[in-house]
Amino acid sequence: MVRIGVVGGGSWGSALAILLNNNDHEVHIWMRDKKQVDLIRETRENKKYLPNIKIPKEINISDDIEEVIYGKDLLVLAVPSHGIRKVLEENRKHFNKKQVLVNVAKGIENDTLYRVSQIVKEILPENPYAVLSGPSHAEEVAMNMPTTVVSASVEKKVAEYVQDVFMSPTFRVYTNTDVIGVELGGALKNVIALGAGISDGLGYGDNTKAALMTRGIVEIARLGEKLGGNIITFAGLAGIGDLIVTCTSMHSRNRKAGILIGKGMEIDDVIETVGMVVEGIKTTKSAYELAKKHDIDMPITEEIYDVIYNNKDVKSSVINLMLRDKKHEMEDIIEKILK
């Protein structure tokens, strides 16, 4: 039995808490909102984020973060990526350096353009760190539907430890040492998923979505490799696997948000309507700035950025993408060969 604290009680944090409890671990969830904590304690259901799923009585729920962090072997960081820095900085004194930190958020910080591992390294540099990512909707994991993800850490033994803790008959975990690639794949696919949703909102079909996904993974891999990720990672669970599920499922907040944008809704209204954090909106800004900083060609990302942040007409963006200069499909590979 491993003592586990889940920092963040949204849909994903709640689903993983249920999974870990089912694996016979001791689980304690932190939620900021005391009213939400009291309601879940009473009903054993997270009605706001994970409705119609029972939270076992063995799982402790608290609004006291010190209580949730103290004495734990492993801590799951399940707050949105843009909130991780604040949570860690405000509570760093409660952590001890032996605790394994497992990030399950998917995003890139706007101000610093840091991945979550870089934020953690800055604030809690001695703690073992892993990222858990892949095609995994909280709703399906909570219902014990077969799911496969990847545990990535620069330390192989840490990745394997996380694998052992999370693995179950319905939750298969592979390991990887490419933290950069896994984190970027998980974050950047949300940008492309916004595009897939916009396409759906405009009434376009499967051809358009297939094109967005296929050329989208090229952009993700292009930037990911430049930043030190392994190109092969983007062909795996944290790359094309996560991209497929996020672009095609109605569980996807990013796809839902894209659909509303494609139908003409204003961004603030989109966020309010979805009702939960849409990581792709903030990540689009970070991805756009990273592409500019490193001189990486990411035309889909650039168009989505203009739609969200410059109020560009979505149909104009589609036309721009279709009428770009003619290219060979394997241009990146050809350029490498010629070099």
* Catalytic sites, residue numbers: 189
What CA–CA distance (Å, rounded) separates 259 from 97?
43
Centre a 10 Å sphere on the Cβ of residue 156 and count the other Cβ atoms it contains.
11
Residues written for the chain:
339
Question: Going along the chain, which residue ranges are E strands?
Answer: 3-7, 26-30, 45-46, 50-54, 60-62, 74-77, 100-103, 129-133, 147-152, 171-176
The CA-based angle 236-114-12, given to 5 degrees, is: 55
What CA–CA distance (Å, rounded) separates 22 from 251?
23
Q: Which residues sit opposite 60 in a β-bridge?
A: 28
What CA–CA distance (Å, rounded) separates 8 from 88?
12
Centre a 10 Å sphere on the Cβ of residue 322 and count the other Cβ atoms it contains.
9
**Which residue has tokens 């799951």?**
76
Give the contacts of 253 (CB within 8 A, at least 6 positions apart): 274, 276, 277, 278, 279
